[in-house]
Amino acid sequence: MAKNKKADSVNLVQRPIRKWAPLFILPTFAAFAIGFVWPFIQGIYLSFCNFNIPTDAKWVGLQNYAKVFKDAGFLNAFWNTAGFAVVSIILINVVAFFIAYALTQKMRGANLYRTVFFMPNLIGGVVLGYIWSMIFDGILKNYSTYLTAEPTYGFWGLVILVAWQQIGYMMIIYIAGLQAVPEDMLEAARIDGATGAQTLFRVIIPNVMPSITTCTFLTLTNSFKMFDQNMALTGGLPSVMENGAKINTTELLALNIYSTYNINKNYHGVAQAKAVIFFILVAVLAIAQQSATRSKEVQQ
Amino acid sequence: MKKKLNDYTPLSKILTVFFGALSLVWIIPIFEVINNSLKKNEFINLDPFALPSAESYVGFNNYLTGLTFGNYPFLKSASYSLLITVVSVVLILLFCSMSAWYIARVNSTISKVFYYLCLFSMIVPFQMVMFTLTFTADKLNLNTPYTIPIVYLGFGAGLAIFMFLGFVKGLPLEIEEAAAIDGCGPVRTFFNVVLPMLKPTLISVGILELMWVWNDYLLPYLVLDRTKYMTIPIHVQYLKGSYGTVDLGATMAVIMMSIIPIIIVYMFCQKHIIKGVAAGAVKG
C-alpha cells in the first residue's frame, strides 16, 4: 500500500519534471561543464605536458612532477603551509570558541561585540592584506625594521591577519552550536552539582562537536587554500637564493603555484603539476579530517 | 527571555569590559585606514598611527584624488564589481535552485552524476583549474564583466546546489502533489510553489555567494581582459603593485571607499548575514 502511494507520487511529480530537464538542469550543467569539469580534465592532462597554450601542448610524461619534487621553493611553501595551518587551526578555533562561549552567557553588549568581531569577513583578502601591511610596517618602524625583512615577521603577520579575520566567522558557527545545546541537559548538570569546567568539558563540548568538525574543516581548507592575504601582505618576500634557486620564504602553496606559472612559459606545465599535487593534498586532508572528527561526535 | 538589570553578575560585568577592550583590536585597523585617508602622503610614511595634525590634515582631498588615481577611474571598477556580483548571484540563485529541485525530485542517472560532481567540486581548490579555466573563458568570450557571471555560475554551482538540496529534501512532497493534481505544470509548480518555500535558503546562499563574488580577486584577475576591465579588489592590488612610490593617502581613501558600502549593507542585513553564515556551515 505504502509502496503504491510512493509510486503514485513519483509518477505525479517526477514524470512531468523529467520532460523539463533542459530548462531545469541544462543551464547549470553547461556552466558547470565550462567552469569546472572541462578545466579540471584539461588540467590533469596538461600536467603531463609542456605547454604555453593548450593547443601547443607536448606530452612529456612525469617530467613535470619530477621537477616539482626537486623544487626547493615548493617544499618550502609546503612546510610554510603546514605550519601555518596547524597554528591557525588551533589559534582560531580556541579563541573563537571561548569568545562564542562568553557571548552566549548573560552579558551586556554581546550583540554589539558579535557584530564587531564578524566585520572583517566582509572585506576582501587583498584589501585586508594591504591594511595590515600598513599596520605591521608602522609598528616595526619603531624597531627600525619592516615586515618583509625577516621570514618570521611575514609568517606571524599572516597568522595574526587570518586569525583577526576568521575568528569572527568561526565564532558565529560556534554560537549557533552552543545555542542548540539542550537546556534540560544543562539544567541536569546544574542539579547534579557539576562545576563550570565539568559542564563545559562533559556536556557542552561533546554537544557542539558538529560545530567543531565544521570549523576545523573550514579553517583547515581555508589555510591550505590561502592566497589573497598571502599575496597582498608579503607577496612571498623576502626571497633568498639557495643552490642557485630563488626561494620566496613566506610563500604558501597557492601563491607558489601562481608564481611558478608566471616565471616563463617553460614553467606552465610544472605549475599545473603542482596544482594537481595541491588538489590531491587538499582533497585527502579534507576527507581524512571529516572522517576523523565525525567519529568523535555524540551519537544521539 | 527578559533580562533584568540584576541578572548581570559581577563576572558578566568583567566580561563586558574585557570584550570592550578586545574589540578595539578589531576596530583599530579600520580606524587607521580612516585616519590615514585624511592625511597628506608624506605624513603617512613618517608615522602611520599619528592623528591628523593641522599640517598633515587634507580633508577629503585624498578621496577626490582616489577617484581618478592610477589612470583608471575608481567608479568604473566599482560599477563592474557591482554588475558582476549582482548578475552572478541572481544566476546562481535561480539556476542552482532549479537544478537542486530537479535532482531531488527526479531519480535518474543524470541526477546522481550531477550530484556527485557537485560534491566533488567542493573539495577541488581553485588553483587546480585556474590556468585551464582562463584558456576556456578566453576562447568562449567569457572574459568580459557581462559574460563572466557564467563562469561564476559554473564554479559556484557545487556549494549552492548542495545547500539547496539539503532544504528541498525536507519539503513535504504532498504540496507539490496537490499542485500537480490541480493541473499545475512543473514550471509553475517550481516558481509559484517551491521557490517561495525556499526563501530562507535563497537568502543564506545569496549572502554567501555575494560575499564570495564581491571580494573575489584571483578569478576575475585571471579571466577578465585586464586592459579593459577591473573590479575593486583588482583595482586595490593594482595600486599596491607600486607600493612606496604611489600616493598612500589616496590609496587609503580608495580602500575606505571600497569598505563603506559593505559596512552599510552589513548594518542593514546583519541578521541575514549571520544566519546565512551559520546555515552555510552545515555543509561541513
| Higher pLDDT pick, A36 / A289 | A36
Same-domain check for residues B57 and B108? no
- In whole angstroms, what separates CA A93 from the centre of its chain? 13
Per-residue model confidence (pLDDT) at position B7: 57
Residue A103 sits at the chain B interface (C-beta within 8 Å): yes
> Which among B20, B153, B258 has the least Cβ separation from residue A28?
B153
Using a pLDDT cut of 90, give the percent of chain B over it: 17
Q: Give A166-182 pLDDT, tens digit per residue.
A: 999 999 999 989 988 88
User: In chain A, pLDDT over 70 holds for what percent of residues?
Assistant: 93
* Average per-residue pLDDT for chain B: 84
Section B112-141 average pLDDT: 89
Q: Does B32 touch chain A (CB under 8 A)?
A: yes
Number of domains in chain A: 2
What's the confidence (pLDDT) of residue A300?
39
Q: Please tell me the predicted confidence (pLDDT) of residue B253.
A: 87
B101 and B12 belong to one structural domain: no
Q: What is the mean pLDDT of residues A159-165?
A: 95
CB B48 to CB A134 under 8 A?
Answer: yes
Residue A140 clears pLDDT 60, i.e. is over it: yes
Chain B environment of A97 (Cβ under 8 Å):
none
B5 has pLDDT over 80 = no
- The CATH number of residue B140's host domain is 1.10.3720.10
Q: Report if residue B223 sits inside a domain.
A: yes
Residues in Cβ contact with A223 at an 8 Å cutoff, skipping those fewer than 6 apart: A81, A84, A85, A88, A89, A162
DSSP 8-state assignment for residue B282: G
Q: What is the pLDDT of residue B282?
A: 53
Whether pTM > 0.95 for this model: the answer is: no
Could you report the predicted ipTM of this complex, rounded to two decimals? 0.85
Local confidence band at A4 (pLDDT 50, 70, 90 cut-offs): low
Same domain, B108 and B201: yes
Domain interval for residue B120: 72-240
* Domain span including residue A9: 2-66
A138 close contact with B: CB closer than 8 A = yes
Q: Are residues A38 and A153 in the same domain?
A: no
| B153–A35 C-beta distance less than 8 A | yes
Answer whether B209's CB lies under 8 Å from B97's CB: no
Please give, rounded to a whole number of angstroms, the shortest distance from the CA of B179 to a CA of chain A.
9
CB contact under 8 A, B19 and A32: no
Please name the residues in contact with A58: beta carbons below 8 A apart, sequence gap of 6 or more: A49, A50, A51
Picking from A38, A137, A290, the nearest residue to B136 by CB comes out as A38
Give the model's confidence band at B81: pLDDT under 50 very low, under 70 low, under 90 confident, else very high: very high
Which residues does A269 contact at the CB level (< 8 Å), separation at least 6?
Answer: A46, A47, A48, A49, A50, A51, A60, A63, A64
Residues B185 and B94 in one domain: yes
Q: Do B131 and A272 touch (CB under 8 A)?
A: yes
* pLDDT at site B79: 92
Q: Which of B44, B62, B80 is at the close of a domain?
A: B62
User: Looking at residue B283, what is its pLDDT?
Assistant: 45
Q: How many domains does chain B have?
A: 2
The confidence score (pLDDT) of residue A137 equals: 87
Per-residue pLDDT, averaged over A67-92, amounts to 92
* Highest mean pLDDT (candidates A54-63, A101-110, B6-15, B223-232): B223-232
Count Cβ atoms below 10 Å from residue A7 Cβ, excluding itself.
10
A46-60, A220-234, B98-112: which range is least confident on average?
A46-60
State whether A31 and A82 are in the same domain: no
Q: Is residue B249 part of a domain?
A: no
Rounded to an integer, what distance in angstroms lies between the CA atom of residue A72 and that of residue B207? 41
As a whole-number percent, the residues of chain A with pLDDT over 90 amount to: 32
Any domain includes B279: no
> CB-based contact (8 Å) between A283 and chain B?
yes
Q: Which pLDDT band holds residue B9 (cuts at 50, 70, 90)?
A: confident
Residue B2 pLDDT exceeds 70: no
Chain A touched by B81 (CB under 8 Å) = no
In the block, residue with C-alpha cell 601563491: A255
Does B183 reside within a domain? yes
> Smallest CA–CA separation between A59 and chain B, in Å?
16
DSSP string, A87-111: HHHHHHHHHHHHHHHHHTSS-TTHH
Nearest to B217 among A13, A108, A125 (CB): A125
CB contact under 8 A, B26 and A117: yes
Judged by CB atoms closer than 8 Å, whether chains meet at B128 and A254 is answered as: no
pLDDT at A275: 93
Question: Pick from A45, A66, A87: which residue ends a domain?
Answer: A66
Sole residue written with cell 535532482? B103
Residues A73 and A27 in one domain: no
Task: For residues A179 and A102, state if they share a domain.
Answer: yes
> Is B8 within 8 Å of chain A by CB?
yes
Contact across the interface for A13 and B255, Cβ inside 8 Å: no
**Nearest-by-CA chain B residue for A291:** B284
Q: Do A53 and A71 belong together in one domain?
A: no
Q: What is the pLDDT of residues B39-77, one digit of tens each?
A: 877 777 777 777 777 777 777 777 877 787 777 788 888
Would you say residue A279 lies in a domain?
A: yes
Q: Kindly state whether residues B16 and B154 are assigned to the same domain.
A: no
The pLDDT score that the predictor gives to residue A266 is 80
Highest mean pLDDT among A20-24, A208-212, B219-223, B250-254: B219-223
